[in-house]
Amino acid sequence: MVGVSGKRGNGEGSIYPYRNGFAAYVWVSTPDGKRKRKYVYGPTRAVVHEKWVKLHAEASRGPVASSTPTLAQYLAYWLREVVEPELKPKTAETYAMHVRLYIAPGLGGKRLDKLTVRDVRAWLNGLLEQCQCCAQGKDAKRDKPRCCAVGRCCEQVPSRRTVQDARAVLRSALTNAMTEELISKNVAALVKVRSARKPKRQPWSVEEARQFLEAARAARDPLYAAYVLILVLGFRRGEVLGLTWEHVNLDTGEVTVQHQLQRIRRRLVHDETKTEASTATLPLPQVCLTALQLRRKEQEAARQAAGDLWTDSDFVFTTRYGTPVEPRNFNRSFTDRSAKAGVRRIRLHDTRHTCGSLLAALDVHPRTAMQILRHSKIAVTMEIYTHVPSDATRKALRRLGKHLDGR
């Protein structure tokens, strides 16, 4: 520190007055192997000295970037070094998508340490009004442009939920930048975004689910057993497509949910379920057991028909050649089967909300249903059991679990 005499303290030769405060530098090795000066600034000599000491320590541990990166540069580093190693592949892909489509185009050119609350607020407000077909050039990429590229903007603005998610990704990245002491505050956390109103979903009634399953069974749909697991046990798409025979015990009537199949970055990934709570061993109601027994016979017949073209795998649900079922194709098959069954078109994920009512209609014991639905209290399960369908529907559902020959 400088005393009354104005002399510099020992080792402070690179701290000097600068504009309205002080500055200092340290010679560092950069990640590309070059030697450069790295500067720090502050309003007082004491503040700069503290930063200077930290910079010396950092330089002694390894390479140091000699300049502050832009937000786009930092986000690329964050996705590569933090997100991909630490998060599930699907989550990492979603983060990268938000960075590529929304954050980098709007804020990527800003220097990381110069990003302000006003910048983030302006970006969010603009995003809510910006046509993404125009911004991403979607129409221009088509062989025959039909809207934005020919002057008829389709006004494909992102939903408020999408904007919320983009801001959450930015906030997460800036939190990591604070941890790495690149910035002193998280400006994304200081900008509030009004919550999106959740749309009300209208899942199938028990009668509609019964009509759908009866139609799939009558048509000998190869995905019939998958539809049963989704509707009766509440399986997610990735969980049902990732199910292997190793985790199905037809003798004891149990199935273990442990893996999921997802398409990530143009390749199919068979990985563990997203959370530990998603992993469970569930009892198989009779309709599920019968459907899986039927599926096993159908798969063996397909194997013999394919001959040398068959690809060996342990997946329960496969194509006619033994390969895994594409997630998007499964969605298309579900939509097509819904239309053929004459039931309302709903999202595949919404079928989970019909699960509890179906268990009640199938006369599954409440304690077993509690285990399947993963409720912590039997009272929650019993609330579902107060809403039961007609006797005709109950009998029709029970018939699905009695025969393998489709009678």
Each residue of 243-293: pLDDT tens digit? 999 999 999 999 998 888 888 878 888 888 766 656 788 888 888 999 999
Note whether 162 and 225 are same-domain residues.
Answer: no
| Domain's final residue, options 160, 190, 220 | 190
Note whether 293 and 313 are same-domain residues.
Answer: yes
Assess if residue 197 is contained within a domain. no
Q: What is the pLDDT of residue 277?
A: 59
Note whether 227 and 271 are same-domain residues.
Answer: yes
Long-range contacts of 254-262 (CB under 8 A, 24+ apart): 254/281, 254/282, 254/283, 254/284, 255/229, 255/281, 255/282, 255/284, 255/288, 255/292, 256/280, 256/281, 256/282, 257/281, 257/282, 260/236, 261/315, 261/324, 261/325, 261/327, 262/89, 262/90, 262/238, 262/327
- Number of Cβ within 10 Å of residue 218's Cβ equals 11
Assess if residue 268 is contained within a domain. yes
Q: What is the pLDDT of residue 406?
A: 40
Tokens of 253: 């009537």
Note whether 98 and 222 are same-domain residues.
Answer: no
In this predicted structure, the answer to whether residue 11 has a pLDDT above a threshold of 50 is no
Q: What is the pLDDT of residue 119?
A: 95
Q: What is the pLDDT of residue 122?
A: 95
| Domain's final residue, options 190, 217, 241 | 190
Q: How far apart are CA 256 and CA 280, in angstroms?
A: 6
Kindly indicate the confidence band of residue 96, based on its pLDDT and cuts at 50, 70 and 90: very high
| Domain's final residue, options 190, 225, 242 | 190
How large is the greatest C-alpha to C-alpha distance in the chain, in angstroms?
A: 103
Note whether 227 and 119 are same-domain residues.
Answer: no
Assess if residue 285 is contained within a domain. yes
Note whether 246 and 333 are same-domain residues.
Answer: yes
Kindly indicate the confidence band of residue 386, based on its pLDDT and cuts at 50, 70 and 90: low
Assess if residue 240 is contained within a domain. yes
Calculate the CA 37 to chain-centre distance.
42
Range with top average pLDDT, 34-48, 331-345, 347-361, 393-407: 331-345
What mean pLDDT comes out for the span 122-132?
92
**pLDDT tens-digit map of 49-73:** 998 998 888 888 877 776 778 999 9
Note whether 294 and 244 are same-domain residues.
Answer: yes
Q: How far apart are CA 123 and CA 65, in angstroms?
A: 28
In this predicted structure, the answer to whether residue 380 has a pLDDT above a threshold of 80 is no
In this predicted structure, the answer to whether residue 359 has a pLDDT above a threshold of 70 is yes
CATH number for the domain harbouring residue 275: 1.10.443.10
Assess if residue 2 is contained within a domain. no
Which tops the pLDDT comparison, 383 or 313? 313
Domain count within the chain:
3
- 30 touches 65 (CB < 8 A): yes
Among candidate residues 90, 96, 83, the one with its CA nearest the CA of residue 327: 90
What mean pLDDT comes out for the span 78-92?
90
Q: What is the pLDDT of residue 389?
A: 64
Which tops the pLDDT comparison, 119 or 30? 119
Note whether 240 and 276 are same-domain residues.
Answer: yes
Which tops the pLDDT comparison, 95 or 266? 95
Q: What is the pLDDT of residue 10?
A: 46
Task: Point out the least confidently predicted range of 120-124, 151-155, 325-329.
Answer: 151-155
Q: What is the average pLDDT score of the chain?
A: 85
Note whether 78 and 183 are same-domain residues.
Answer: yes
Which backbone phi and psi does 82 adopt, to 5 degrees? Answer: -115, -55
- Number of Cβ within 10 Å of residue 42's Cβ equals 18
Which tops the pLDDT comparison, 120 or 198? 120
Note whether 85 and 54 are same-domain residues.
Answer: no
Note whether 250 and 320 are same-domain residues.
Answer: yes
Range of the domain at 145: 71-190
In this predicted structure, the answer to whether residue 205 has a pLDDT above a threshold of 70 is yes
Kindly indicate the confidence band of residue 300, based on its pLDDT and cuts at 50, 70 and 90: very high
Note whether 249 and 384 are same-domain residues.
Answer: yes
Tokens of 227: 């539809």
